[in-house]
Structure 1
Amino acid sequence: MTDPALPTPPALDSAPVLAHYVRGGFVESAHRASVVATAADGSHLLALGTVDDPVFPRSSNKPLQTLAMVRAGLRLAPQHLALASASHSGEDFHLEGVREVLASVSLTEGALQNTPDYPLDEAARNAVIRNGGGKLPITQNCSGKHAAMLATCVVNGWDTATYRDPGHPLQQAIAETLAELTGDEITATAVDGCGAPVMAVTLAGLARAFGRLASAEPGTPEAMVADGIRAFPAYLGGTGRDVTALVEGTPGLIAKDGAEAVYAVGLADGRGIALKVADGGTRAKPVILAAVMRRLGIESAALAQLEDAPVLGHGEPVGAVVAVGI
């Protein structure tokens, strides 16, 4: 099936090759990506590829969505703010947290409208299947966000049955916050994998927004979200997740990974980073991010984990995914 009427966005079409998939000293595949780093004033410190055209950040939008909810009156414990911003792994403490958020506004998991799925975490997924369970909204990685969306609706007296509608007051508040923090106009809205709206912004705007969130003044809604992520990174991702290791291993940093190979980072000094791998494949994403962080002089205990991307042959390392041109 082809659709010649749809042009390829420049952020994908003109993206430079920034990673190689190397097997036995031979470049087997190449990954194109666009990446930007911004200063505290929003100017570009680094730009590779087209970074001022819109992309869907997918789950990298979540901390900004959480900010919109806090601005709208949502008040949650720090770990629950991290969970609201999460693509969680579906471990027991994640599910308990979702239920706590719902219970705080007298709702149950039956109110969740996100797409049913198994947990991302392999052990948790296997346990569900072994016990005869199936796909559920609560075990899907976006249930923390959806629980927080429902809680925000209850706090404001908004309809909970239609909270996913782009015209709902909740989604309008999210769109306003995204536009303000990124400095972008929302040029496209679609349905994300979980059923909630996903709104397009530029990579440069996404980087600016994360820098602003990470450098916010204490006590502000922005700082509440950033502090929750920093204090409870396991709620943001989960056991073994690179986003959790990145936040844990880098003082002052916040980050959020997104589907279709998006990553966004904010630093306490106001710098921001955003990247998207053009083909949507995830294997090059952490490797490229690590290379950008090294170029910017950002020290992190997590860089080795991000760069650990072996290519296997018969179960043994025979190459690696490596960054190039950064």
Structure 2
Amino acid sequence: MSALAATLYRGEIVENTHAAHVAVVDAHGRLVHSFGDPQRITLPRSAAKPAQALAVIETGALERFGFTEEDLALMCASHSSEPRHIERVRAMLAKAQASESDLRCGGHPPISDAVQRDWIKRGFTPTAVCSNCSGKHAGMLAGARALGLALADYHLPGHPLQAHVRRTMARAAGLPDDAVQWAIDGCNLPTPAFPLAHLARLFMTVADAPQDTPLARIHRAMTAHPELVAGEGRFCTLLMQAFDGTLVGKTGADACYAIGVRREHGTLGIAIKVEDGNTAVLNAVVVHVLEQLGIGTQQQRDALAAFRQPVVRNTMGVPTGQLDVRFTLHSHQA
């Protein structure tokens, strides 16, 4: 089956086409809708952060070091390196009796254009605490400290903390330990790969978690503090703000997205991968899938209208083309 999901036009001429894969599972983990290959082996990248945060919760680090709900949200974040993000990471490190020099993520240009302009004006050079993944790394350091493990090499696959993360990740995705493949992420931590449908299952379990369980804490933290999960004007933040606690969503590098939806007639998990790694296409595909599934109200979905069919403009601001997302989900329901 063709996985062509979107076409980018320049004028009326096709400039690019984009393939995508979608998996939607119900509250029992059953595949109910799909497009393309729902079993595509996928690197969730930062979309896996809720499961990595779950591993940190299980170490007892949150209670031991007095981490707040906001701190937990930042552990799940790909943040914009705004001052509020950097300041909170520094506070988390202090709580865990760790320092920025312990971090094994590197500084990089921020995701936010506004932050980038500010850094350029100030001649600021980003350090590890400015990494969009620094909240996750601070949580990992706290987890290692809580387990009485060495902080050195906490990021390496052979460290006992990462063995714990691997077990937690497989369990959260509903897979045996040996069914998850591993590589190294952009932030220098191990990153998993498994079938796309199991990423959907992971987010379904986050949305469906009973009250007062660790996964429910993660859901509450992310949906109550979406500005910490991403940042000003970012898709994840605007998505969760629009749906006001009923939807948890997280992006991953190279165009992967995962969503958990709370509904009266059954929780859903959704996972999407765009083959060429285009983030603008990914966001448009996410909105398209939400519309096809009838998730939320029209008003909630309209809050994401700017992402639905983004207009391409040249350096003079003249519209030169538009992205057209046009595909139909396949139903697996009897």
**Which TM-score applies when normalising by structure 1?**
0.92
Farther off after superposition, 205-214 or 69-78: 69-78
Superposed displacement of residue 181, structure 1: 1.7
Indicate the residue corresponding to 2:145 in structure 1: 154
Superposed displacement of residue 154, structure 1: 0.9
Unaligned runs of 5+ in 2: 329-334
Indicate the residue corresponding to 2:192 in structure 1: 199
Farther off after superposition, 122-131 or 213-222: 122-131
In the alignment, is residue 266 of structure 1 matched against residue 260 of structure 2? yes
Indicate the residue corresponding to 1:294 in structure 2: 291
Superposed displacement of residue 15, structure 1: 6.0
Q: Supply the distance in 1 between the matched residues of 2:32 and 2:306 (Cα, whole angstroms).
A: 25
Indicate the residue corresponding to 2:46 in structure 1: 59
- Is 1:117–1:135's contact at 8 Å kept on the other side of the alignment? yes
Superposed displacement of residue 222, structure 1: 0.5
User: Which of 311, 317, 320 is matched with 2:319 structurally?
Assistant: 317
Shift in CA distance, 272/127, structure 1 to aligned 2, threshold 3 Å: same
Counterpart code for 1:255: G
Q: Supply the distance in 2 between the matched residues of 1:167 and 1:51 (Cα, whole angstroms).
A: 31
Instruction: Give aligned pairs, total.
Output: 313
Superposed displacement of residue 160, structure 1: 0.8
Identity percentage of aligned residues: 36
User: Which of 62, 67, 71 is matched with 2:58 structurally?
Assistant: 71
Q: Supply the distance in 2 between the matched residues of 1:308 and 1:145 (Cα, whole angstroms).
A: 32
Q: For each residue in 1:170-228, what CA deviation from the matched residue of structure 2 results, as whole angstroms up to 9, or x when unmatched?
A: 21222112211212344421110010000111110000110101121111000111100
- Is 1:15–1:278's contact at 8 Å kept on the other side of the alignment? no
Indicate the residue corresponding to 1:242 in structure 2: 235
Q: Supply the distance in 2 between the matched residues of 1:275 and 1:184 (Cα, whole angstroms).
A: 19
- Is 1:52–1:202's contact at 8 Å kept on the other side of the alignment? yes
User: Which of 8, 14, 34 is matched with 1:27 structurally?
Assistant: 14
Q: Secondary structure at the match of 2:24?
A: strand
Indicate the residue corresponding to 1:6 in structure 2: none
Superposed displacement of residue 133, structure 1: 2.2
Shift in CA distance, 226/15, structure 1 to aligned 2, threshold 3 Å: farther
In the alignment, is residue 257 of structure 1 matched against residue 254 of structure 2? no
Counterpart code for 2:304: L
Choose between structure 1 and 2: higher helix proportion: 2
Indicate the residue corresponding to 2:306 in structure 1: 305
Farther off after superposition, 248-257 or 315-324: 315-324
Q: Supply the distance in 2 between the matched residues of 1:125 and 1:312 (Cα, whole angstroms).
A: 21
Indicate the residue corresponding to 1:137 in structure 2: 128
In the alignment, is residue 277 of structure 1 matched against residue 274 of structure 2? yes
Farther off after superposition, 137-146 or 44-53: 44-53
CA RMSD of aligned residues (A): 1.5
- Is 1:118–1:136's contact at 8 Å kept on the other side of the alignment? no
Q: Secondary structure at the match of 1:200?
A: strand
**Which TM-score applies when normalising by structure 2?**
0.90
- Is 1:98–1:138's contact at 8 Å kept on the other side of the alignment? yes
Indicate the residue corresponding to 2:331 in structure 1: none
Indicate the residue corresponding to 1:8 in structure 2: none
Indicate the residue corresponding to 1:113 in structure 2: 104
Superposed displacement of residue 125, structure 1: 2.2
